[in-house]
Amino acid sequence: MLQTRLYTIGIFIFFCAVTTTVSAVTCTWIGGNSNWNNPANWSCGLVPGIGDRVTISTDNVDITVDIEVMVDTFLFDGNNTRLIGTNSISVLKEMTWQFGIIEVDIIIEDLLIEDNTFQSKYLYDTLTINGDCQYNFTGWLWIQEGGVFINNGHLQSDGSFAINSQGPRGRFINYGTFVKDSTGTSNSWIPITNYGTMNFLTGNFSRNEDFINHGTLRIDESMNGYIFSEFQNHGVLSGNGLITLPINYNLDGIIAPGVSPGQLSFSNSSSVVNLGGEIQIEIQSAMGPGVGHDHINVISPHVVLGGTLTVVETGAIPDGVYTIIQANESCTGTFDTINLPLGYSINYTDTEFQLVKGDCIGDIDLNDAYLAGDPHQSDFHALQVLTARGTVTDGENLQFKADSTVELISEFTVELGASLLISIDDCP
């Protein structure tokens, strides 16, 4: 009896599998202006469902999606053909978009946006990609008012990436990974919000509407745009490119040049770039700015420092001076917090901010960011022998005279408000 039951169950499973395979059909739209949920509009004589393959290549028709649709694959290639209605389409495998106007919510696993500059593509509703999207289109993808292009997966652009609207703007939102790594420019005339990772590895990226970064944005050539278009960085900004900023711009978030090391350059049409976020600098070798260590080049006349500086040493670095930030005319301000490896200090010039490795130190105000713990104390355990000049008020543990060479103990005290002007031979 047990063997008979197992045999019966096996026959049942086999029958279901065969039935499922046989039921998968290809359905092509043969109707005119009509409803999706009408068997007479489909070549297969059925309303397409799970497992079915759908093709719409009829031109100049309005197809009303009057039911919730779930199909296996979908080829949309209808010139001036619209998908309209209040229901959504779910594509379980892949969709190819060659032509047509989308005015319904579509959720896709994988999407191929095929190239033909004479084939218009319009989006008026939400298009969500959960898997892979291969973007081969070199024309404009029109994301109209109410249209939202959402990438939750991996979007790969092998040509230019151009999104625009005719009239009020739609939106592009990235939660996944976006990669532009081939020839061709990128143009955005609609707002972009990034919560994931966007890598513009080749070509100029022209942002002519607001761009808000909450994730990771990498620019390896250039990103420019109108000075009145908003750019906000609340995430990580990296790469080796040039970024054009709005007037008198406050650059927040994390700035980590290179990938790394490398160089990021900033400019605007005015004069001031304020660095108010966290600057992350990697020093790997003595091969110079942008090669051996990270570098920020402010092409605008003035840079004002603020926020946090964090420096990480990742190689065997010889003693010396390493310029990490520079501007054309002036470098002013100071970081609120400075995190340096042992053996490093800082130095300012009129146009540069430098890291100094070795027994070198410049002006020290005992009320500034060098203080640790008690405001009367500073820890100079990384410094061994100093040559000093100037007047110093003796503290309890300080053995120090002007123009003398002394060895410092690991910790010493001075009176509140005193300043030390200390210099080392061959140091800035």
117 confidence band (pLDDT: 50, 70, 90): low
**Residue 262 pLDDT greater than 90, yes or no:** yes
pLDDT score recorded for residue 412:
45
pLDDT score recorded for residue 129:
95
If you average pLDDT over residues 140-160, what whole number do you get?
92
The pair of structure tokens assigned to 417 is 């408000």
- Across all residues in the chain, what is the average pLDDT? 81
Task: Determine phi and psi for 17, rounding to 5 degrees.
Answer: -65, -45
pLDDT score recorded for residue 182:
81
12-16, 164-168, 192-196, 239-243: the lowest-pLDDT one: 12-16
pLDDT score recorded for residue 110:
93
Q: How many domains, in total, are found in the chain?
A: 2
In a shared domain, residues 312 and 424: no
Q: Is residue 30 part of a domain?
A: yes
In a shared domain, residues 75 and 181: yes
In a shared domain, residues 304 and 371: no
Question: Which is higher by pLDDT, 12 or 24?
Answer: 24
pLDDT score recorded for residue 309:
95
pLDDT score recorded for residue 348:
82
- Number of helical H runs and strand E runs in the chain: 1, 46
Question: Which residues, 6 or more positions from 111, have their beta carbon under 8 angstroms from its beta carbon?
Answer: 94, 95, 96, 97, 127, 129, 131, 132, 133, 134
In a shared domain, residues 76 and 219: yes
Q: How far is Cα 113 from Cα 397, in angstroms, rounded to an integer? A: 72
The domain boundary, picked from 361, 377, 398, lies at 361
Give the amino acid at 321. V
Q: Are strands 216-219 and 197-200 parallel, antiparallel or unpaired?
A: parallel
Percent of the chain with pLDDT over 70: 77
* Structural domain containing residue 31: 25-361
12-21, 200-209, 268-277: the lowest-pLDDT one: 12-21
Question: DSSP states of 172-205 as a string?
Answer: EEESSEEEE-SSS-EEE-S-EEESSEEEE-SSEE
Shortest CA distance to 191 belongs to which of 152, 160, 145, 153? 145
pLDDT score recorded for residue 19:
39
In a shared domain, residues 140 and 194: yes
In a shared domain, residues 398 and 312: no
Question: DSSP states of 260-304 as a string?
Answer: SS-EEEEEESSSEEEE-SEEEEEE--SS-BTTTB-EEEE-SSEEE
Helix (H) or strand (E) holding 28: strand 26-28
If you average pLDDT over residues 24-30, what whole number do you get?
94
Residue 238 · residue 213 · CB < 8 Å: no
83 confidence band (pLDDT: 50, 70, 90): very high
The domain boundary, picked from 361, 377, 411, lies at 361
In a shared domain, residues 143 and 34: yes
pLDDT score recorded for residue 136:
87
In a shared domain, residues 289 and 245: yes
Q: How far is Cα 200 from Cα 96, in angstroms, rounded to an integer? A: 24
Question: Which is higher by pLDDT, 181 or 70?
Answer: 70
Q: Is residue 328 part of a domain?
A: yes
Q: Each residue of 286-302: pLDDT tens digit?
A: 999 999 999 999 998 89
**Residue 44 pLDDT greater than 50, yes or no:** yes
If you average pLDDT over residues 95-115, what whole number do you get?
92
If you average pLDDT over residues 229-255, what whole number do you get?
91
Q: Is residue 349 part of a domain?
A: yes
Q: Is residue 108 part of a domain?
A: yes
Residue 375 · residue 386 · CB < 8 Å: no
- Count the Cβ atoms, other than its own, within 10 Å of residue 344: 20
Task: Determine phi and psi for 388, rounding to 5 degrees.
Answer: -115, 155
Give the amino acid at 274. N
pLDDT score recorded for residue 118:
58
Q: Is residue 13 part of a domain?
A: no
64-78, 122-136, 321-335, 343-357: the lowest-pLDDT one: 343-357
Q: Is residue 10 part of a domain?
A: no
Residue 183 · residue 157 · CB < 8 Å: no
Q: Is residue 2 part of a domain?
A: no
In a shared domain, residues 339 and 384: no
In a shared domain, residues 180 and 68: yes
247 confidence band (pLDDT: 50, 70, 90): confident
The domain boundary, picked from 361, 376, 400, lies at 361
Percent of the chain with pLDDT over 90: 59
Q: How far is Cα 36 from Cα 106, in angstroms, rounded to an integer? A: 14
Q: Each residue of 355-382: pLDDT tens digit?
A: 988 754 444 433 332 222 333 333 333 2
Q: Is residue 206 part of a domain?
A: yes
Q: Which residues share a beta bridge with 123? A: 102, 143
If you average pLDDT over residues 67-84, what whole number do you get?
95
Q: Each residue of 166-184: pLDDT tens digit?
A: 989 999 999 999 999 887 8
In a shared domain, residues 272 and 377: no
In a shared domain, residues 341 and 416: no
